[in-house]
Structure 1
Amino acid sequence: MRPILELLPEELPGEGYRRAQIAHWLYARGALDFAEMTDLPKGMREALSKEWRISEFALVEAYPSRDGSVKYLFTLLDGKKT
C-alpha cells in the first residue's frame, strides 16, 4: 500500500468531482479511514483501502493529564507501539 497523503491534490485517484471529494475528506475533514467517506460509492472506498493507506499509524489510546495535555499511544505499520 502507498501513503495517499504524499500525493498532491491533483494526483489523487479518481476523476473530476470524485477527486475533489477525496481531497475534501483527507485535507478538510481529516478522515483516517476510507470507510468514513460515505459520499463515495462503497466499491470505490473498498478499492481505495486496498491500494492506499491514509496514516502510518493508528491511535490505540489517549491519556489526558490534569494539566490539560494529552499523551497518545499509537501502533505503527510494523506493529510497534510508540
Structure 2
Amino acid sequence: MGTYRFSEQAVHDLDEICASRAAAAGEAHTAIDRAIAQLPPDYAQVIRDLDLAGKSVDEVASAMGRSKGAVHMLRARA
C-alpha cells in the first residue's frame, strides 16, 4: 500500500485556502443578512423561513396566517 506524504508547504497552503473560504463565506453571509434586512418584513420572513431555516411552505403559511399561494408570491417578489 502506498503512503501519501504531504509537505509542510502543502499543508500550509491548504490551511490558507480553508481560511480564505471561511472568510468569503462570512462575507457572503453578512451581505445576505444586509439584503434581507432591506426587504419589507413579510418578504424577509418568507426568505428567512423558507430559504435559511428550511421550513416548508405549509409551515410558513400557517405561521404567517397566509395561503400557500401568498407565500409563494412573497418569495417570488422578494
| TM band (smaller chain) | 0.3 to 0.5
- Identify the structure with the greater strand proportion: 1
Give the TM-score taking structure 1 as reference length.
0.32
- Identify the structure with the greater helix proportion: 2
> Which structure has the bigger radius of gyration?
2
